[in-house]
Amino acid sequence: MAELNLFTIPAGAPFLEVLAQAMLEGRFGRVHDPEDPAALARVTLYLPTRRAARAFAACLSDKLGGAPLLLPRILPLGDVDEAETALIGAGALAEDRIAPIDPLARRMILTRLVDAWGRSANRSHLRLDPSEPSLVPATLAEAYGLAGDLAALLDQMQTEDVAVERLGRLDAARFDKIWQLNAEFLSILGGAWPTILSERGACDPATFRNRMLAAERDRLLSGAVTGPIIAAGSTGTVPATARLLAA
């Protein structure tokens, strides 16, 4: 097993500046060689976001006085599109890749599903107390808002490795009608959504990110990466990220 080095950055310190300085000073091994402009290019660096990746590249360049150099391979763990670019360039998931659905297209499809559900799940049919606020969309604008909530739930479930199909098996028959209404609403995802994605040959963005991180993990375990590997700023709370960091 490769040697593991741990480096702690105090909470009040400028994170990226301290990280860049530590790399240049050799705190993570000999990752920088003033005589070899390509030395840093052999480093793989995982950062939390694309903003951090861009800022780190600028910070590193400033500390070297603008000298020409090849940057490390910087991979933002939390951004799907940037992660795709970095991983596809390295050969990960080169075959049988399912692209993520466009977020706006997803929300519009969910809006139509919510609107159709709202027209069938009316208050009189459910016999709700007239004093209770309306829980079903009366307009497309309301359906669009609820579709955003469903999209956020999709991302959260897939981030936590919870199958969306489980929502279609919710049994709220023994609970109050309000919970039955909630279960019926959530069944939109558990029932129709996986089929829609399959027909479109697409997947949700969070699922795509998980697959890309899994492919990167497989690449590390295969021994394809020979240079130093540095992970910074990620706590590993996302299961797919935790599995990658554990590799």
What would the pLDDT profile of 32-49 be if each residue is shown by its tens digit?
Answer: 887 787 888 888 899 988
53 and 93 inside one domain = yes
Tokens of 101: 């659905």
Same domain, 92 and 146: no
Looking at the domain assignment, is residue 168 inside a domain? yes
Q: What is the pTM of this model?
A: 0.75
With respect to residue 4, please indicate whether it lies within any of the assigned structural domains.
Answer: no
Give which of 9, 70, 43 is closest to 227, Cα–Cα: 43
Q: How many domains in the chain?
A: 2
The pLDDT assigned to 184 comes to 76
Q: Is residue 56 part of a domain?
A: yes
C-alpha pair distances (Å), 97 with each of 122, 202, 207: 41, 9, 12
- The answer to whether residue 3 is domain-embedded is no
Same domain, 89 and 111: no
Average per-residue pLDDT in the chain? Answer: 80
Same-domain check for residues 177 and 223: no
Say if residue 31 is in the same domain as residue 59.
yes
* DSSP state string for 50-61: HHHHHHHHHHHH
The DSSP H or E segment spanning 151 is helix 140-159
**Residue 10 burial (C-beta neighbours within 10 Å; 0-12, 13-18, 19+):** exposed
Same domain? For 142 and 183 the reply is: yes
Residues 26 and 92 in one domain: yes
The answer to whether residue 2 sits within a structural domain is: no
54 and 138 together in one domain: no
* Domain co-membership, 134 together with 77: no
Q: Please check the confidence at residue 28 and state whether its pLDDT lies above 80.
A: yes
pLDDT digits (tens, 9 = 90+) for 147-165: 999 899 999 999 898 888 8
pLDDT of residue 2 exceeding 50, the answer is: yes
Its domain, for residue 116, covers 103-202
Same domain, 108 and 187: yes
Kindly report which listed range (80-84, 104-108, 182-186) carries the lowest average pLDDT score.
80-84
> Mean pLDDT highest for which of 95-99, 184-188, 206-210?
206-210
